[in-house]
Amino acid sequence: MNTEFILRAAEAVYQALLTHESEIESLDRAIGDGDHFINMKRGCATIVGMREELAALAPDAALQKIGMKLLSTIGGASGPLIGSFFMSMAKAVKEEGAETLPEIAIAFAAGVEAIKARGKADVGEKTMLDVLIPVSQTFTRLADEGYGRAELLEVLKREAQQGMQSTRDMIATKGRAAFLGERAIGHIDPGAKSSQVIICTVCDLALANP
Ligand code: ADP
Ligand code: MG
């Protein structure tokens, strides 16, 4: 994973989020306060606008800078969570590298652990973690088992879809949706949806660039 891939991923994610604007916005309007799409769009646009200063950096330094910037630009509950994801990922990339699939899986897992710790949440609470945790666990397992890159990426996309869908019938125990109790049932979590869109977009980009 080099810095150029990170920058291209940021641009692809920005476009993908715009494509899913109405869906993400209406999900947060249903069980949150309606700002999740705007928060994510603002964060993404900021990173895309930093292309020049980021391009000169090594991947770990670029991820660290992205994390710090997202912490202050996304806002809401998700800003600090996503910011800490990138900063923890940066630390792992600095220590372990990000050349091989197992190394990238370690970095992704470090990012997800940071969200768990900061959000004090786990799987089954109707949040973005219902996508991120199963994707991370599968990523680590398949990378360790030596799966081929294309097959692994396809499995991760399916895992993200399943995780996102799994939030539909959950009661939320974290975030704004927790105030709704059973009324949140039947709605997909907005953070799970945006996480699925992001993961599928980055996997598609990697699949298109073997
Ligand atoms: P806010 O809830 O402050 O309006 P956003 O709308 O940007 O912030 O983000 C909401 C999303 O954040 C939720 O859909 C959920 O996925 C995620 N989220 C909220 N609280 C937590 C938490 N404690 N742990 C993990 N994810 C969380
Ligand atoms: Mg919101």
- Give the per-residue pLDDT at 87: 98
- Distant-in-sequence, close-in-space partners of 7: CB < 8 Å, separation ≥ 6: 51, 54, 55, 62
pLDDT tens-digit profile of 44-60?
Answer: 999 999 999 999 999 99
Q: Which residue among 27, 42, 128 is best mutated to probe the pocket of ligand 1, counting the most ligand atoms within 8 A of its Cβ? A: 128
pLDDT tens-digit profile of 157-177?
Answer: 999 999 999 999 999 999 999
Its pTM stands at 0.97
Supply the Cα-derived Rg of the chain in whole angstroms.
16
- Cα gap 115→121, rounded to integer Å: 8
- Cα gap 181→89, rounded to integer Å: 33
- Give the per-residue pLDDT at 163: 98
pLDDT tens-digit profile of 190-206?
Answer: 999 999 999 999 999 99
- Cα gap 161→117, rounded to integer Å: 24
Ligand 1, atom 7, lies closest to the CA of 36
Rounded distance from Cα 146 to ligand 2 centre (Å): 39
The tokens for 28 are 């947060």
- Give the per-residue pLDDT at 141: 98
Percent of the chain residues topping a pLDDT of 70: 100
Q: For ligand 1, is residue 195 a contact (CB within 6 Å)?
A: no
Residue 71 has pLDDT above 90, yes or no: yes
Residue 93 has pLDDT above 90, yes or no: yes
Measured between alpha carbons, how far is residue 57 from residues 63, 121, 131, 181, 187 in Å? Answer: 9, 32, 29, 45, 40
Cα-based angle 26, 174, 84 (whole degrees, multiple of 5) = 90
* Segment among 85-89, 178-182, 189-193 with least mean pLDDT: 178-182
Provide the domain limits for residue 187.
3-208
* Segment among 114-118, 149-153, 182-186 with least mean pLDDT: 182-186
Q: Which amino acid is at 115?
A: I
Query: How many folded domains does the chain comprise?
Result: 1
Residue 42 pLDDT grade (very low, low, confident, very high; cuts 50, 70, 90): very high
Ligand 1, atom 25, lies closest to the CA of 119
- Give the per-residue pLDDT at 210: 78
Residue 2 has pLDDT above 90, yes or no: yes
Ligand 1, atom 13, lies closest to the CA of 191
Q: What is the CATH number of the domain that holds 30?
A: 1.25.40.340
